[in-house]
């Protein structure tokens, strides 16, 4: 079993602790062993149950008082103390599960130029951990072209400073519509895929001309240079996240597992006779990550779900899906899903069309190479 270390980084308020808590709950739900820990010496209130807390070693309040530093300087000094006491961290990690989520401070200096965090990660990599960095940005950055461009620069710098697989994430996507997401000049895929940024230049000029400083050729040339810089690297792309949405968490965790290699190491150990993993670890996840489930949310669906005008329809569809799963959970072992929809008196609770559809799906599962005994296949138009 490979050892994976997941490190969410990003500015304060981007959702690092919330995501850490969400990952702990989600992995527990899918029976995947996971430990989470607080690596932020300034965070004295965490929403999750930590395996250990770095404040047992050093707290920012102690550093500020002892060294007469401010909050930011205190955090950076405390990170250097953690680096100087890595044996303490290694001992705590040795007691954790193979998958560990560390919740670090949100100071941008740590992912831009300060060397304490990279040196800590280098040491942990030597312990055998495969490190995946999650670079979080609040999706509110999409509402202003200048915020989006500056966030791209921040991501590029972070990817150069932390030389590990990085998954860039736009968090709080479910709040984007309330913050002006419905008025975005481009579709969501323009931002997540970082498409041709030259289309962003007129929007930047329009935004800058509305400020007190006004627009000028000087700003236009700077915008063009920054756009060229980001596009020349060609490194940045984004996942989206609504941490309370199960499908969104599925999609994100699969992206993390692709980056770490965990996905390949688990699915090849599936026992075909039982559907579980050979070592009986994370069997639910191994089945979900099989070839029968892609796990990738189409960005068009994300836009329709959270930014478009059909959010209520998606909410209702999701509610019905949960109700259906709850009913099917009562099926006896070996009982087909169609049979599970028959009540105790033998009366069918659904119409014939739905029953036929479920029987067809059962035949498809038993014979993946067949066509289910007839029927049509629905495809999505491009």
Identify which of 141, 146, 138, 140 has the alpha carbon closest to the alpha carbon of residue 200.
146
Identify which of 271, 182, 191, 280 has the alpha carbon closest to the alpha carbon of residue 239.
191
Question: Which has more pLDDT, 2 or 123?
Answer: 123
- Give bridge partners of residue 24 from the DSSP assignment: none
Q: Burial of 120 by CB count in 10 Å (0-12 exposed, 13-18 middle, 19+ buried)?
A: buried
What kind and span of H or E run contains 78? Answer: helix 71-84
Please report which residue ranges of 178-216 form alpha helices under DSSP H: 188-192, 201-209
What local confidence, expressed as pLDDT, does residue 265 receive?
56
pTM above 0.85, yes or no: no
Q: What is the DSSP letter of 182?
A: G
Listing from the earlier edge strand, what are the strands of the sheet with 3-9? 35-38, 99-103, 3-9, 129-138, 166-171, 238-240
Are residues 98 and 2 in contact, defined by beta-carbon separation less than 8 angstroms?
A: yes
Domain parsing of the chain, residue ranges: 4-209+221-267+274-317
Identify which of 255, 355, 346 has the alpha carbon closest to the alpha carbon of residue 295.
255
Residue 314 three-state SS = helix
Flag the least confident range among 44-53, 185-194, 249-258, 359-368.
Answer: 359-368
CA 107 from chain centre, in angstroms, equals: 20
Give percent of the chain with pLDDT exceeding 90: 55
What local confidence, expressed as pLDDT, does residue 363 receive?
64
Q: Which CATH number fits the domain 4-209+221-267+274-317, given the four candidates 3.40.50.300, 3.30.360.10, 2.60.40.10, 3.40.367.20? A: 3.40.50.300
Q: What is the mean pLDDT of residues 350-364?
A: 60
- Average per-residue pLDDT for the chain: 81
State the pLDDT confidence band at 309, using cuts at 50, 70 and 90. confident
What local confidence, expressed as pLDDT, does residue 113 receive?
94
Dihedral Cα 283, 334, 359, 274, nearest 10 deg: 30
C-alpha–C-alpha distance, residues 137 and 13, integer Å: 9
275: tokens are 């559907």
Q: Burial of 45 by CB count in 10 Å (0-12 exposed, 13-18 middle, 19+ buried)?
A: exposed
Which contacts (CB < 8 Å, 24+ apart) does range 176-183 have? 176/139, 176/140, 176/142, 176/143, 176/306, 176/307, 177/306, 177/307, 177/311, 179/139, 179/140, 179/143, 180/143, 181/139, 181/142, 181/143, 181/306, 181/307, 182/307, 182/308, 183/143
205: tokens are 């000029």
State the pLDDT confidence band at 375, using cuts at 50, 70 and 90. very low
Q: What is the mean pLDDT of residues 67-75?
A: 94
Are residues 251 and 295 in contact, defined by beta-carbon separation less than 8 angstroms?
A: yes
What is the number of helices (H) and of strands (E) in the chain? 16, 6
What local confidence, expressed as pLDDT, does residue 127 receive?
92
What local confidence, expressed as pLDDT, does residue 226 receive?
94
Q: What is the mean pLDDT of residues 272-283?
A: 48
Residue 271 three-state SS = coil
What local confidence, expressed as pLDDT, does residue 379 receive?
36
C-alpha–C-alpha distance, residues 253 and 293, integer Å: 13
Are residues 171 and 19 in contact, defined by beta-carbon separation less than 8 angstroms?
A: yes
Q: What is the mean pLDDT of residues 2-29?
A: 93
C-alpha–C-alpha distance, residues 371 and 46, integer Å: 50
* Model confidence at 172: pLDDT above 70: yes
Q: What is the DSSP letter of 273?
A: T
What local confidence, expressed as pLDDT, does residue 169 receive?
97
Flag the least confident range among 204-208, 263-267, 357-361.
Answer: 263-267
The string of pLDDT tens digits covering residues 183-237 is: 899 999 999 999 999 999 999 998 888 775 666 677 889 999 999 999 998 889 9
226: tokens are 């920054």
């Amino acid at each position: 079993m490979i050892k994976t270390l997941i490190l969410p980084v990003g500015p304060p308020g981007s959702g690092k602790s919330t995501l850490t808590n969400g990952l702990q709950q989600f992995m527990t739900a899918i029976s995947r062993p996971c430990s989470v820990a607080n690596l932020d010496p300034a965070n004295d209130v965490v929403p999750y149950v930590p395996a250990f807390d770095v404040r047992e070693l050093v707290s920012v309040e102690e550093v500020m008082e002892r060294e007469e530093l401010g909050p930011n300087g205190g955090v950076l000094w405390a990170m250097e103390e953690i680096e100087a006491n890595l044996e303490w961290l290694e001992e705590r990690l040795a007691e954790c599960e193979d998958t560990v989520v560390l919740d670090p401070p949100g100071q941008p200096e740590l992912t831009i130029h300060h060397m304490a965090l990279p040196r800590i990660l280098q040491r942990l990599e030597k312990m055998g951990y495969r490190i995946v960095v999650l670079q979080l940005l609040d999706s509110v950055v999409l509402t202003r072209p200048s915020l989006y461009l500056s966030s791209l620069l921040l991501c590029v710098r972070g990817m150069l400073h932390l030389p590990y697989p990085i998954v860039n994430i736009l968090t709080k996507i479910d709040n984007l519509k309330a913050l002006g997401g419905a008025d975005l000049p481009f579709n969501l895929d323009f931002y997540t895929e970082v498409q041709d940024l030259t289309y962003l230049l007129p929007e930047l000029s329009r935004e800058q001309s509305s400020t007190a400083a006004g627009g000028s050729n000087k700003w236009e040339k700077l915008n063009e240079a920054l756009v060229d810089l980001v596009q020349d690297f060609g490194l940045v792309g984004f996942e989206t996240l609504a941490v309370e949405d199960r499908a969104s968490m599925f999609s994100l965790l699969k992206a993390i597992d692709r980056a770490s290699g965990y996905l390949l190491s688990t699915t090849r150990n599936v026992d075909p006779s039982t559907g579980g993993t050979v070592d009986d670890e994370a069997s639910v996840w191994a089945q979900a990550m099989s070839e029968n489930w892609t796990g990738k949310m189409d960005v068009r669906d994300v836009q329709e779900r959270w930014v478009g005008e059909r959010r209520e329809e998606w909410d209702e569809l999701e509610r019905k899906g949960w109700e259906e799963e709850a009913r099917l959970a009562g099926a006896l072992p070996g009982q087909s899903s169609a049979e599970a929809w028959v009540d105790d008196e033998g009366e069918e609770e659904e119409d014939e069309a739905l029953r036929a559809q479920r029987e067809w799906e059962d035949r498809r599962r038993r014979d993946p190479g067949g066509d289910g005994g007839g029927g049509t296949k629905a495809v999505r138009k491009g």
